[in-house]
Amino acid sequence: QSVLTQPPSVSAAPGQKVTISCSGSSSNIGENYVSWYQQIPGTAPKLLIYDNSERPSGIPDRFSGSKSGTSATLDITGLQSGDEADYYCATWDVSLNTGVFGTGTEVTVL
Amino acid sequence: QVQLQESGPGLVMPSQTLSLTCTVSGGSMTTGYYYWSWIRQHPGKGLEWIGYVYHRGSAYYNPSLESRVTISVDTSKKQFYLRLTSVTAADTAVYYCARRPNWYFDLWGRGTLVTVPS
């Protein structure tokens, strides 16, 4: 049972924008950086965003992250069929003393 | 380019010990400030962080698994290891090794499915 809550699914048409929320608390998101991962079914997760809003080399700027208080958000603009995947947020929880991942969100391109 | 690859048995009997190896290729384990990590994913479920080891050997574990987990490293072989004792069907999962430069995982192995029959 994760302490970071994400919507189970979001969807939009190609070219549109989706926003994925990650809701936590003062002991996790409120205290630490958030990262985001994309997992295409059958493959390993891939880092999309680190330190709340930084993109690793090779990640297009269609992916952007932000954090405010105890919540974080991942935006995907110019949605493409290749963006269909599960997306997870992650951070450290100082109360549980462990790394925590979000519940995951399935993105569907209509 | 640094790559990670998990290896180990795909089937472990209940009450036995799960042992996996992660081999690091294309780079050094001791350059930089990295924590070498294990993460698992139960079938159809989300991700669960298991723990990590620093190249000098200090390790840290998820408190929920701490009593059964050991993560160790052998930098001369460019490998790190996961050992999980007294497994049950609830330990059936895909196990990933990953590199952690800070509090995020920038490189992942492909994962290996470990099944514990019920």
pLDDT at B24: 97
Q: In this structure, what token pair is assigned to residue A103?
A: 């519940």
Q: What is the mean pLDDT of chain A?
A: 96
Q: What is the mean pLDDT of residues B31-49?
A: 93
Hey, are the CB atoms on A51 and B104 less than 8 Å from each other? yes
Between A2, A44, A104, which is nearest B110 by CB?
A: A44
Hey, are the CB atoms on A45 and B105 less than 8 Å from each other? yes
State what percent of residues in chain B have pLDDT above 70. Answer: 100
pLDDT at B33: 87
How far does B9 lie from chain A, in Å, by closest CA?
19
Asked if B25 and B80 count as a contact pair (C-beta separation under 8 A), the reply is no
Q: What is the mean pLDDT of residues A29-52?
A: 97
Q: What is the mean pLDDT of residues A20-46?
A: 97
Q: In this structure, what token pair is assigned to residue B20?
A: 């996996």
Confidence of residue B32 (pLDDT cuts 50, 70, 90): confident
**The amino acid at B13:** M
pLDDT at B116: 98
pLDDT at A83: 97
Residues of A with CB under 8 A from a CB of B: 2, 32-33, 35, 37, 43-47, 50-51, 56, 88, 90-92, 96-104
- Does pLDDT of B2 surpass 70? yes
What is the distance between the alpha carbons of residues B39 and A51, in angstroms, rounded to a whole number?
20
pLDDT at A2: 82
Long-range contacts of B63-71, Cβ-Cβ distance < 8 Å, separation of 24 or more: B63/A96, B63/A97, B63/A98, B64/A98, B71/B36, B71/B38
Asked if B90 and B105 count as a contact pair (C-beta separation under 8 A), the reply is no
Hey, are the CB atoms on B103 and A32 less than 8 Å from each other? yes
- CA end-to-end distance (rounded Å), chain A: 30
pLDDT tens-digit series, residues A58-84: 999 999 999 999 999 999 999 999 999
pLDDT at A1: 63
pLDDT tens-digit series, residues B61-97: 999 999 999 999 999 999 999 999 999 999 999 999 9
What residues contact residue A106 under an 8 Å CB cut-off, 6+ apart? A8, A9, A10, A85, A86, A87
Pairing of strands A9-12, A105-109: parallel
pLDDT at B103: 84
Show residues of chain A in contact with B48, CB under 8 Å: 101
Confidence of residue B102 (pLDDT cuts 50, 70, 90): confident
State what percent of residues in chain A have pLDDT above 90. Answer: 95
Fill in the DSSP letter of residue B30.
S
pLDDT at B9: 97
